[in-house]
Chain A
Amino acid sequence: MDTIIKKSATPDALSTSKLPVFFRWESLLILIIVLVCVMNSYLSPYFLDPWNLSDATFNFTEKALIALPMAMLIIAKEIDISVAAIISLSSTLMGLVAQMGAPVYMVACVGVLVGAGCGLFNGALVTGFKIPSIVVTIGTMSLFRGISYVLLGDQVVRDYPAGFEFFGQGYVYWVFSFELVLFVFFALVFYWLLHRTKFGRYTYAIGNNPTASYYSGIKVNKHRLILFTLVGVMSGIASVLLTSRLGSTRPSIATGWELSIITMVVLGGVSILGGSGTIGGVVLAVILMGLVTFGMGLLNIPGIVMTIIVGVMLITVVSVPVLITFYKNKSNKAKAL
């Protein structure tokens, strides 16, 4: 005991970071994923079929692609809720150039570039005018979606060039769809970016203390601008996949997706207040949500009930670690006495 006291740690600061592996967020998510798998395969004989599982991935890959940069943005203490509207605007402009007879690669490029432009616009407003990102992106959410409605009206665009359907419907090898492979690729890229690079380190530093980061010579605003643009680019890519999978564009495409995406990020253990979280956690949360939705789909549970279950799941998973820490501290105290 004496040696511990002599270490000059302030007694007031309780460290929660050194929880055993079992209590870590990622471990908890893995446990729940295993439980869901066991339950699903018990309830439905079709659950473990590779093709069924492969089909199930289409439910989440597009959202998950946006959840990756969104996690980084939220870790940096910012947020973007205009992502679904970016999908819509990007899809609309892809539709228009497709109607003009643009080739496949051109349509896809337009999708990604529009996304990048929208993200840059968000970032410029946040950093240039120092408006909180939630306010800016509530505004641009209406703005981007509004432009889509003005451009398309009641129209539905279906004239996509031949070959465009590969992005959302094609398979690279056996049951592995292009979307799934792309998600795995970007998950690795963002893992590297957040956990293995200078850029990732700056993201954590800014999310925990923007002032001290600025005082350490980090170009905080430039970093934020890049993050917003990244979210835009990934929204553009998601828009290409979604448009290709559906084969059509309506202005109302991807309505409400921003909330599912943010849910994935929070469920993945990213602090909504910024500063902490991992890509691994987000990927696990994505898989968990995908499996739960798929399982419930097999059991013919209606969509409205599904949203209730996802909501309950979110609250439960978020509160469990808090409760564990609370009771651990209590029992530690009792032991120390």
Chain B
Amino acid sequence: MNKAIFSLKKVSKVFPGVKALDGVDLHLYPGQVTALLGENGAGKSTLVKTMTGIYQPDGGDIIFNGKPVQFHSPHDSHALGITAIHQETVLFDDLTVAENIFLGNYPMKKGPMTKYFSIDWSAMVTRSQDILSSINAHMDPNQILRELSIGQKHMVGIARALSVDAKVVILDEPTAALSHHEIHELYELVNTLKQQGKAILFITHKFDEIFALADRYTVFRDGCYVGEGFIKDTNEGQLVEMMVARSIAATYPKKDVEIGETLLEVSNLCHTTEFANISFSLKKGEILGVYGLVGSGRTEVMQALFGTTDHVTGTVKMNGKEVIIHSPKDAIENGIVYVPEERQKQGIVLELPIYQNISLPQMDRLAKHGNLDQESEMSLARQYCERLQVKASCWEEKVMNLSGGNQQKVVIAKWLATNPKVIILDEPTKGIDIGSKAAVHEFMSELVDSGLAVIMVSSELPEIMGMSDRILVMNEGLIVSELSRADATPEKVVSLATGGHVTC
């Protein structure tokens, strides 16, 4: 067995009131993928920031190539060839792809003075092109980043990590925002990196990815090291137990609910550029899965139903009556609510307390003559947060102090409190830990049981397959197929979504 190129020994990191890392160990080996597992809040992100020099550890040693090292800034760890692709990509929307890739490390012109002042733009573009094509990302290096999709931005992030001669590559939930197709490209990329002898740390919540890619694993729980080993010696149940110290049913909690009358009818919804001829119906007690790749128009359609997309034609009927929806306010009044994919940007006001977020959509009802009534706001928050089991020290706590899974629960609680008829969930379990994920799934079953109708947009195939009564598959702005639960197979869904050759 070869030696670890990078090790952490008994590393601790303390924040006021919280011990984020408590004497953790981690070893990375050249040419191997190590998966780091743990629920949200287990200390994974803190670990990445410690490894890349953003945080300085309060105790313990970092050992690189057998020698103890100290990182005073991200620059130090970067210089040793440690690069990270973070959960939230740290990129600049207004710079070009090439500028983003080489940011802070621009190739300079050669010459006595120009090497200090002049960026070699053409070399930068050529080298960007090389890196991008080596990871099969086809885009113009001169394009402004803002114009790219989330998936493409991620590819730029990866290209940026590879622009230096990396020895250790950290991938922090790299697939969270990627479509099925893009994920497979990423797998290939990881295998290429492995063959080049790079040590890879792979952080993810998805078990299929771990078993497809990783050689080793390390598990953290609540900031503590739990254990490590080889992937081939373990199985999913064992890993889950190590992560949560309790076992979770791996199956989806799909209940048989009696399907009622038609609640929502959408016909011929069209948009100038994003989608066309969208027609579907939704019945009481039904979970309608919408599957499509990033850019297939699925989010845009849902936002049109919620009134945030302009220039939409077509009709929407609720309970057989046509409704006009021009703004979220109209949608909420008609009983349609939307839990967005971009939770922190669109779903919630991070700086406000939990209870104020819950009451925000219905202040008209809660504030008599405009005067705040904290009592009724608090009781509303208490009622719905307890129902969803939001973990927080008190309801006055700011939402930004909660973990991702709990933030998502607050968003769902906020909408449930409005007594909706149709709830649209856009990527409801993206980036949240498996404990919360199972809770969200269970809750969806509970919702339809109580007479609601759910539309669930997701790029996670198991989730779509496991939870939906019917599946709409979208591709390039069109509904290409509608499958019943019985007819749907993973292969069929994926090939339809990618414009494949299944005839139907």
In the complex, whether A21 has a CB less than 8 A from a CB of chain B is no
Instruction: Give chain A interface residues in 1-24, CB to chain B under 8 Å.
Output: 1, 4-15, 17
A204 CB contacts on chain B under 8 angstroms? 352
Check B367 against A198 for contact (C-beta < 8 Å). Answer: yes
In the complex, whether B318 has a CB less than 8 A from a CB of chain A is no
B402 CB contacts on chain A under 8 angstroms? 8-10
Task: Tell me the minimal C-beta distance from A274 to chain B in angstroms.
Answer: 10
Check A208 against B352 for contact (C-beta < 8 Å). Answer: yes
B17 CB contact (under 8 Å) in A4, A196, A214, A215: A4
A9 CB contacts on chain B under 8 angstroms? 18, 41, 393, 401-403
B423 CB contacts on chain A under 8 angstroms? none
B398 CB contacts on chain A under 8 angstroms? 15, 17
B20 CB contacts on chain A under 8 angstroms? 11-12
Contacts A205-B349, A208-B350, A219-B329 known; A13 to B370 CB distance under 8 Å?
A: no
CB 8 Å contact bits of A217-240 with B (1 = contact, 0 = none) = 111000000000000000000000
**Of B167-175, B254-262, B338-346, the one touching chain A:** B338-346
Alpha-carbon distance A113/B301, docked complex (angstroms): 44
In the complex, whether A155 has a CB less than 8 A from a CB of chain B is no
Alpha-carbon distance A118/B443, docked complex (angstroms): 51
In the complex, whether B46 has a CB less than 8 A from a CB of chain A is yes
Interface centre among A199, A208, A217 (most CB of B within 10 A): A217
Task: Tell me the minimal C-beta distance from B318 to chain A in angstroms.
Answer: 16
Check A201 against B340 for contact (C-beta < 8 Å). Answer: no
Alpha-carbon distance A209/B398, docked complex (angstroms): 14
In the complex, whether A276 has a CB less than 8 A from a CB of chain B is yes
Check A214 against B16 for contact (C-beta < 8 Å). Answer: no
CB 8 Å contact bits of A191-212 with B (1 = contact, 0 = none) = 0000011111110110011011
Alpha-carbon distance A211/B20, docked complex (angstroms): 31
**Of A166-174, A294-302, A329-337, the one touching chain B:** A329-337
Contacts A7-B391, A9-B402, A11-B43 known; A1 to B58 CB distance under 8 Å?
A: no
A10 CB contact (under 8 Å) in B41, B370, B371, B393: B41
In the complex, whether B468 has a CB less than 8 A from a CB of chain A is no
Check B393 against A276 for contact (C-beta < 8 Å). Answer: no
How many residues of chain A get a CB closer than 8 Å to chain B's CBs? 41
Check B351 against A14 for contact (C-beta < 8 Å). Answer: no
Alpha-carbon distance A332/B49, docked complex (angstroms): 20
Check A208 against B349 for contact (C-beta < 8 Å). Answer: yes
Check B372 against A196 for contact (C-beta < 8 Å). Answer: yes
Check A14 against B222 for contact (C-beta < 8 Å). Answer: no
**Of B89-97, B113-121, B355-363, the one touching chain A:** B355-363
B405 CB contacts on chain A under 8 angstroms? 8
In the complex, whether A319 has a CB less than 8 A from a CB of chain B is no
Instruction: Give chain B interface residues in 344-385, CB to chain A under 8 Å.
Output: 345-352, 356, 360-361, 363-364, 367, 370-372
Contacts A199-B370, A214-B308 known; A15 to B347 CB distance under 8 Å?
A: no
B17 CB contacts on chain A under 8 angstroms? 4
Check A13 against B43 for contact (C-beta < 8 Å). Answer: no
A209 CB contacts on chain B under 8 angstroms? 345, 348-351
Check A7 against B346 for contact (C-beta < 8 Å). Answer: no
CB 8 Å contact bits of A130-170 with B (1 = contact, 0 = none) = 00000000000000000000000000000000000000000
Check B351 against A213 for contact (C-beta < 8 Å). Answer: no
B392 CB contacts on chain A under 8 angstroms? 7-8
Check B403 against A8 for contact (C-beta < 8 Å). Answer: yes
A213 CB contacts on chain B under 8 angstroms? 349, 360
A217 CB contact (under 8 Å) in B45, B345, B361, B401: B361
Check A336 against B367 for contact (C-beta < 8 Å). Answer: no
Task: Tell me the minimal C-beta distance from B23 to chain A in angstroms.
Answer: 13
Check A215 against B346 for contact (C-beta < 8 Å). Answer: yes
Check B14 against A337 for contact (C-beta < 8 Å). Answer: yes
In the complex, whether B59 has a CB less than 8 A from a CB of chain A is yes
Check B372 against A197 for contact (C-beta < 8 Å). Answer: yes
A214 CB contacts on chain B under 8 angstroms? 308, 327-328
A111 CB contacts on chain B under 8 angstroms? none
15 extra A-B contacts, CB within 8 A, seeds A9-B18, A14-B16, A196-B371:
A8-B392, A8-B406, A9-B41, A10-B402, A14-B15, A15-B401, A205-B356, A209-B351, A211-B345, A212-B349, A214-B308, A216-B328, A216-B360, A216-B414, A336-B19
7 shortest interchain CB distances as A-B pairs: A11-B20, A198-B367, A217-B329, A332-B16, A208-B351, A336-B14, A198-B363
Question: Please, could you name 7 A-B residue pairs with CB atoms under 8 Å apart, sorted by A?
Answer: A5-B22, A10-B41, A204-B352, A212-B349, A214-B328, A215-B328, A216-B360
